[in-house]
Structures are given as C-alpha cells and as structure tokens.
Amino acid sequence: MRECHDELARWMEPLGTRARIDDAGNFRAVYPAAQPNAPHLLIGSHLDTVPNAGAYDGMLGVVLAVALLDELQGRRLPFAIEVVGFSEEEGVRFGTPFIGSRALVGRLDRHLLGIHDAQGISVQKAIEEFGLNPEKIPQAALHSQTLAYFEFHIEQGPALENLNLPLAAVEAIAGQSRLELLFLGRGNHAGTTPMHLRSDAIAGAAEWIVAVEQMAHSVPGLVATVGKIDAKPGAPNVIAREAQLTLDVRHSSDEIRTRAVGELIRQAQEIAARRGLSVRDSILLDQRAVAMDSFLINEIEQAIAKAGCKPHRMVSGAGHDAMILAEKVPSAMIFLRTPGGISHDPAESVALDDVEKAIACGLHLLDQLASSREFIQRITRA
Ligand code: GLV
Ligand code: MN
Ligand code: MN
C-alpha cells in the first residue's frame, strides 16, 4: 500500500498537487480551484483489494481521477478537485468494509478501531503499525465545503456487456449484511466415534451453507454467500470441534435483506439444535441500500450522451465507498462495462475504448458542473 501511495503521489506532482495520507490511511490530494478557499469536489475509489484479485476493482476509479486532472491540462475550475484513494473498502482483513471512507464521515469510531483481524491485531494497532495516529482520525473528515463525491468503478457484473453499453449511471447501491457464525460441536476421534454419537461442527455448517444457497435461490433478487470457512482443529482424522463461517447477504430492499438474515440465523439455530451443536452469530455489517443523488445522476447521463454513448441507469449489487459518502454529501457513480462480468478474480478486465469514453464523460461532467447554475448555487450555499 505504501508503494501504491508513493506511485500515485509521483503521478500527482506534475499536476501541481501534493498528496498526503490521512490518519485512516486514505490517499488524499487536492487540485486547486481557480480561486482560493473554493469548495471541494471529491473524486476517487478504493486502493485495497481482495485476495487473488483483479487489477481494476477500486484502483481504476483512482487512476481515472488522476487521468481527469491530467486532461484538464492545468485548467482551473470554480471548485477544487480532491482525489481520494480509500484505504480499506473490501473488509477482507477485519471482516468489516468501508473503514477508510467511514473516517471521512466521522464514523471510524472506538468500536470499529477495536475490531480484530485473524491474528488478533486491532484496526487501531494496524493503523499505528502503518505509522499513522488514530487520535488524528477526526482530521481525516471531509473538507467542510465538499460539494459532491464521484466514483468511477467497473460494473463487476454482466449487465452492461449484455446491453452492449460501455457506461452507466448508478441510481442506487444494494444494501448488505455481513455476519460471522460459529458452530460449536465436540471434537473426537474420526475412527472410533460412531456416527450417531457425533456432534460434528463441519457437518452442521455444511447443512446450513446449503440452506443459505437455497434461500437465495428462492427469493428474487437476493444473493447470499458463505465465502470463508475455518474449521478446528482441522485434521483429517479429527471430528471438527468448531466451524467458523462468514455470511454476506445483499438485496436492493432492506426489508427483504434483513428478513432473510433473521431467517438464516433461525435456520442455523434449528440445524445446530437438531445436531447437538450450539451456534453463535455476530453481525459485522448492516448497511442499508443507498440512493445516489438525482441531480448528479441526470448530469452523468448528459455527460455519457456527450461522450457518444447511450445513457443507462442501474442498481449496483456490489458495495462501494459512495454508500458511506452519501450520508454526508451528494454522491454518484459511473460504471464501466466489465468484460465477461468477471470481478474479484485475476480475469477481471476492462476495455481501453471504454476507459477513453469514461474519461471523456468525466471531462464533460466537470465542464457541466462548472457552468451549472444549480451546482454553482450549491457552491454559494457551501
Ligand atoms: C466490494 O467489492 C463488495 O463486496 O461489494
Ligand atoms: Mn471489490
Ligand atoms: Mn470496489
């Protein structure tokens, strides 16, 4: 991450922009406005990724922000443009996503600083080990006059490819729940323990994983994933004493999502009771679905059309920092078509033509906002 920050900072320098790393580990760099003390427009995405990842999820949005500044060729606008590269969006290490962006809206609190990774290292300690000061996280808050947040991101699904469209405006981001479940049984010898005398934590977890999949198949629009399983003691000839699982549930309706989570917890308890196991659950994330700003969606659609593409609106199934920023500032996203709809995998890719169209769209968008009466009024109000 440090090398990534250094590389980005080197790219920003010729643009007259000094970068800093805030105390939540986010990359921040401000391209000045035509006038001093002007409000900020924030453009960015995240710099972290998943294990065995592709190269574009997150990173492309930050690189596109730098490319847009480059294309301005020194031209100053009525607002400063702050490029942000968020530090921890995926939630892989601590199970909880959006840690970097939460610092900007004042939600990287004591509770979040206290959660631990698999090695028992807290968020607070990880921040300190990176050479940052958790006490100064409040200084990572959004500039007091931030007009809007924009994020370019690959779609990470097949919709745009199927429609043969390069770009889309995101109208809303589906809500998501993340949980950890721990099935507890009795460790014992795999050769001597008769089947009817076992309390096998892995077998109980396996039954529940299939129940998760069945529920997601039976509820339109619901997706549910057990993406990680860790069993102990973890030997071929020992019945598992415990099985720890992650659960990720998403839907554009918060009501359907939370009902599904409640029902899956109930099913885990029923399976555990029937098998002589116990089960504990902890909710790591309950993030509601978030609508993007309607004024900005309209502006994006106009910019997409000016870039020579057909405008399209869609809901994002993936989570994004824009969900968090939207709590405090008008936020919007532009999706780029994802070949094969493949993401969170090394096969993730993007077409160069589509990236060029995204840059053209971004430049039109900046020009539109710089001359939009409504946006200028926001500047006046800010
Ligand atoms: C982020 O990639 C997510 O899990 O949606
Ligand atoms: Mn991702
Ligand atoms: Mn992402």
pLDDT tens-place string over residues 30-84: 999 999 999 999 999 999 999 999 999 999 999 999 999 999 999 999 999 999 9
What distance in angstroms lies between residue 100's CA and the mean position of ligand 1's atoms?
14
Q: What is the pLDDT of residues 270-283, one digit of tens each?
A: 999 999 999 999 99
Q: What is the pLDDT of residues 129-186, one digit of tens each?
A: 999 999 999 999 999 999 999 999 999 999 999 999 999 999 999 999 999 999 999 9
Query: What would the mean pLDDT of 210-217 be, rounded to a whole number?
Result: 98
Give me the chain's average pLDDT, please. Answer: 96
Percent of the chain with pLDDT over 90: 96
Beta carbon of 155 within 6 Å of any ligand 1 atom: no
Residue 375 has pLDDT above 90, yes or no: no
Beta carbon of 48 within 6 Å of any ligand 1 atom: no
Beta carbon of 53 within 6 Å of any ligand 1 atom: no
Distance between CA atoms of 284 and 182, rounded to whole angstroms? 13
Q: What is the pLDDT of residue 382?
A: 53
Name the pTM for this structure. Answer: 0.92
- Looking at ligand 1, which atom is closest to the CA of residue 317? 5
Determine which of 173-177, 248-252, 371-375 has the lowest per-residue pLDDT on average: 371-375
What distance in angstroms lies between residue 44's CA and the mean position of ligand 1's atoms?
16
Query: What would the mean pLDDT of 300-309 be, rounded to a whole number?
Result: 98
Q: What is the pLDDT of residue 30?
A: 97
Distance between CA atoms of 154 and 170, rounded to whole angstroms? 11
CA dihedral 340, 356, 82, 90 (to 10 degrees): 10
Contacts of 215 by beta carbon, 8 Å cutoff, 6+ apart: 222, 224, 260, 263, 264, 267
Beta carbon of 38 within 6 Å of any ligand 1 atom: no
Q: What is the pLDDT of residues 307-316, one digit of tens each?
A: 999 999 999 9
Beta carbon of 204 within 6 Å of any ligand 1 atom: no
Identity of the residue numbered 187: G
Beta carbon of 348 within 6 Å of any ligand 1 atom: no
Q: What is the pLDDT of residue 320?
A: 98
Q: What is the pLDDT of residue 71?
A: 97
Q: What is the pLDDT of residue 301?
A: 98
Residue 347 has pLDDT above 70, yes or no: yes
Q: Are 310 and 233 contacting, i.e. CB atoms less than 8 angstroms apart? A: no
- Looking at ligand 1, which atom is closest to the CA of residue 91? 4
With the most atoms of ligand 1 within 8 angstroms of its CB, the residue from 88, 90, 321 to mutate is 90
Q: What is the pLDDT of residue 380?
A: 57
Beta carbon of 321 within 6 Å of any ligand 1 atom: no
Beta carbon of 61 within 6 Å of any ligand 1 atom: no
Residue 381 has pLDDT above 90, yes or no: no
Identify the band that residue 379 occupies on the pLDDT scale cut at 50, 70 and 90.
low
Question: Of the ligands numbered here, which is closest to the C-alpha atom of 155?
Answer: 3
Q: What is the pLDDT of residues 117-137, one digit of tens each?
A: 999 999 999 999 999 999 999
What distance in angstroms lies between residue 54's CA and the mean position of ligand 1's atoms?
13
- Looking at ligand 1, which atom is closest to the CA of residue 343? 2
